[in-house]
Amino acid sequence: MTLDVLIEQARRTHSSALCVMQGGEVLIDEAPNHTGGRPIETMSVTKAVLSLLVGRAVTLGVLPGADVAVAEYYPEWRQGRKADVTLQHLMTHTSGLQNVPAAPEEIYPSPDFVQLALCAELRHAPGTAFSYNNKAVNLICGLLDRATGQRADDFARAELFAPLGIHEWQWDRDRAGTPHGMSGLQLRARDLARLAQLTLRGGEGLITPSWIHASTCPATPATPRMGLLWWTWHPQTTYTVTDAHVQHLREAQASPTQIGALTTLRGTHTRQDFHTLMGTVGFDPTQVPAGTRWLQEDPGPRRGWCHDGWLGQYLVVDAEADLVAVRLIAADQPGVGSAGSSWPEFMDDVFSLAR
């Protein structure tokens, strides 16, 4: 893989923006389909920036750390099992809060994302099960508001974006006026890459190196792949599905369609092949009951950290190669949502480029 091939692939997949930085030097900063390099909705990649913002609050001392109890800021949670929920649980998707995986079904219709999270019941004891949870992440913006005295986007403007020279951006708010935590941040690809550079430079004085390390390494025993809102990146990961895993799914009373699809996935697969096969057979991991052991993951060596988002937004930090890569596609980009626009091989292509 070469830079020219990567640019050509960006064009073929209707990408709106592509940026690659190595050693602090910009190698690619392209708007392949003439979008003008405008800020683009980063979707769930917003969570990686939110991690940096929490790290800034911890560095300033306005947040004591990831182990602080949510109840310190929301006293109504001081009773029952919710008293045990920490900021770290919210950031590792292990809070146990009830959650509907599809955000348009429950979250977007809500006028107050924070209140929606506060009112959610616990389905699991905190820290015992991993379940990707947009609702819980939205609560983090509420914590930042109460800890800093500022809305998360205002705090970001003053303490993170402005010091880095990032001035053209937007962050969606709910109707109660709180920024979304799960998504909603619009950035230029180059600015997103610049923010990721902080993780390769020990926070550059804005964020303590200890926070950078803690947020980009495994942060929960529930899964080896989750840091503090960052996924750890293991490009040589393999996945194995056995008869026992199918039986676990059956015992969890998953739908017959999902049980049949997982049966088809039995065997050992590379990461890229596995995700392709899941789409082919119609297996949806978000429909797996939390805590169900439906596969064995062999992560292989950790090479860096990453995040992705709906439509095909990608942010990859290759720590070994001192490289950051960003791919964004705008919701109004011609071709968005088509079979050829999601570029699921992007992270593998970045790995090939670095090698």
Mean pLDDT over residues 5-26, rounded? 96
Which letter, b or e, does each residue of 46-73 get, where b requires 16 or more Cβ atoms within 10 Å of its Cβ?
A: bbbbbbbbbbbbbbeebbeebebbbbbb
Is the pTM for the entire model greater than 0.85? yes
Q: Write the Ramachandran bin of 20: left for phi over 0, alpha for psi from -120 to 50, otherwise beta.
A: beta
Confidence at residue 155, expressed as pLDDT on a 0 to 100 scale: 98
Predicted pLDDT at 276:
86
- What is residue 36's predicted lDDT score, i.e. its pLDDT? 66
Query: What's residue 340's pLDDT?
Result: 84
Q: H or E segment at 268?
A: strand 267-270
Residues contacting residue 63 through CB under 8 Å, at least 6 positions apart: 54, 57, 87, 143, 144, 147, 148
Average pLDDT, whole number, for the chain?
Answer: 95
Q: What pLDDT, in 10s, does the model give residues 122-138?
A: 999 999 999 999 999 99
Q: How confident is the model over 205-258, as pLDDT tens digits?
A: 999 999 999 999 999 999 989 999 999 999 999 999 999 999 999 999 999 999
